[in-house]
């Protein structure tokens, strides 16, 4: 028997949230020449690409895409980025993931970027769950959910119909 799923965001709603987050990132970086959109590998990176596309439409802000590879099961292992640290030194960086659950992935991602001086550092997630084990928050969020610990949020950002659902 498969667990039932409850849709929390449909394709149109996800696109609307992405556009709104892009405007918030632009507003926070209006005086910057460049912003680095650092997406955590897999869905965070896909979300970062969609945010970049929206930012490119609404502003003349130069946005640089960066893939952040974190082993979510072993977050203390080495974290790598698709661009060199010198490419985000003294820049405004936004660390992006699809779901903020316990906060462990985001906090270890934050820790990685704190090894170099940054002008500004923010975090963005599509779905913010309220079960954090670590003192990390999403500066930009599509939706906040209060869920039980036994529920799982899944986000699909590929294909023709994006969807976020609770299982």
Give the pLDDT confidence score for residue 3 in this predicted structure.
Answer: 56
Which pLDDT belongs to residue 124?
A: 97
Position 73 scores a pLDDT of 82
**According to the 3-state scheme, what is the secondary structure of the chain?**
CCCCCEEEECHHHHHHHHHHHHHHHHHHCCCCCEEEEEEECCHHHHHHHHHHHHHHHHCCCEEEEEEEECCCCCCCCCCEECCCHHHCCCCEEEEEEEEECCCHHHHHHHHHHCCCCCCEEEEEEEEEECCCCCCCCCCEEEEEECCCCCCCEEEECCCCCCEEEEC
- Map out the domains of the chain with their CATH numbers: 13-166 (3.40.50.2020)
Per-residue tens of pLDDT for the chain, all 167 residues: 445 788 999 999 999 999 999 999 999 999 999 999 999 999 999 999 999 999 999 999 999 999 999 988 887 889 999 999 999 999 999 999 999 988 888 999 999 999 999 999 999 999 998 777 788 889 999 999 887 777 888 899 988 889 998 88
This prediction's pTM: 0.92
């Amino acid at each position: 028997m498969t667990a039932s799923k409850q849709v929390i965001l449909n394709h149109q709603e996800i696109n609307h949230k992405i556009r709104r987050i892009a405007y918030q990132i632009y507003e926070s970086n209006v005086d910057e020449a460049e912003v680095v959109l650092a997406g955590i590998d897999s869905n965070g990176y896909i979300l970062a690409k969609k945010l970049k596309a929206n930012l490119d439409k609404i502003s003349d802000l130069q946005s640089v895409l960066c893939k952040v590879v974190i082993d979510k099961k072993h977050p203390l292992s080495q974290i790598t980025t698709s661009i060199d640290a010198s490419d985000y030194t003294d820049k405004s960086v936004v660390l992006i993931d699809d779901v903020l659950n316990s906060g462990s992935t985001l906090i270890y991602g934050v820790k990685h970027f704190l090894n170099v001086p940054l002008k500004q550092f923010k975090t963005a997630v599509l779905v913010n769950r309220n079960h954090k084990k670590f003192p990390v928050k999403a500066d930009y969020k599509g939706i906040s959910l209060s869920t039980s610990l036994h529920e799982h949020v899944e986000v699909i950002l590929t294909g023709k119909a994006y969807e976020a659902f609770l299982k």
